[in-house]
Amino acid sequence: MPGGVHGGSGLAGPGAGSMVRRSDIPPEPVPLREPATTMSHLMSLVWEPTAPPERREVAAVGLPSEAAALLRHEDGMTATLEQHWGEPMALTVLRADRVGATLRRAVMLSGRDSGRPTELGLIEIMLANLPPTITDKVVEGLIPFGSLLARAGISFRSRPHRFFSLTADGLLSRTLEVRPGTDLYGRETRLTDSTGRLLAEAVEIVSPLPR
């Protein structure tokens, strides 16, 4: 498993971010951003101050079958990757920024046994909208977010609203262990609970499945 993202991204390890006290969390719901703003906001976690690769929007029906299997659904990404890769996923936090009740982080999911990277995830988690029983675990950053929700019995849906492709630059090729120039696919999605309450917004870029 790679030690993390390299280059000028200034990424920090899992220790970034302080533990959550419920009294510190304001009760106000976090407003949705426009999709383009969310994408740029989260991509800056990894690529700032450099520019990320150009993203090309792709219609859901235009996704290659392999990418569609990983992206065109409303399930959690961790469970989907575990199903298709045939092994549990391990979480590596590459960078974490905490501002009030909002936790932004860049993470890598990889096979727990093989160590093979399967996804680069950029996520903004609305801590105020989570039960206090799991906020400390979320901030701790040792277990994938979707797995924590499932273990806590929280029903959720991941609702993709945009799919895209991009060409792997040096940072992506090192992180996902693909050749520079490889075409990769991803999605922008919103995670909501059974009442429609927003839990997180995410950008998910997946590794190609082994042939």
What's the pLDDT at 1? 41
Distances (CA, A) of 94 to 14, 17, 104, 141, 176: 7, 12, 11, 10, 13
pLDDT band at 42 (very low <50, low <70, confident <90, very high): confident
Q: What's the whole-number average pLDDT of the chain?
A: 82
The 10s digit of each residue's pLDDT in 76-124 is 999 999 999 999 999 999 999 998 999 999 999 999 999 999 999 999 9
What's the pLDDT at 50? 78
Tokens of 80: 């989907």
Distances (CA, A) of 10 to 82, 117, 197: 29, 20, 32
Q: How many CA atoms lie within 13 A of 170 on its CB side?
A: 7
Would you call the peptide bond into 49 cis, given omega within 30 degrees of 0 as the criterion? yes
The yes-or-no verdict on residue 143 having pLDDT over 80 is yes
The yes-or-no verdict on residue 142 having pLDDT over 50 is yes
Separation CA 192–CA 202 (nearest Å): 11
The 10s digit of each residue's pLDDT in 4-30 is 333 334 333 333 333 333 333 333 333
What's the pLDDT at 2? 40
Nearest to 120 by CA among 53, 60, 171, 50: 171
The 10s digit of each residue's pLDDT in 150-184 is 999 999 999 999 999 999 999 899 999 999 999 99
The yes-or-no verdict on residue 196 having pLDDT over 80 is yes
The yes-or-no verdict on residue 191 having pLDDT over 50 is yes
Task: Give the residue, 104 or 35, on which the prediction is more confident.
Answer: 104
Nearest to 4 by CA among 101, 148, 120: 120
Phi-psi region at 41: left, alpha or beta (left = phi > 0; alpha = psi -120 to 50): alpha
Nearest to 147 by CA among 200, 76, 70: 76
Per 3-state DSSP, the chain is made up of helix, strand and coil in percentages (nearest 5) of 30, 30, 40
Separation CA 73–CA 19 (nearest Å): 32
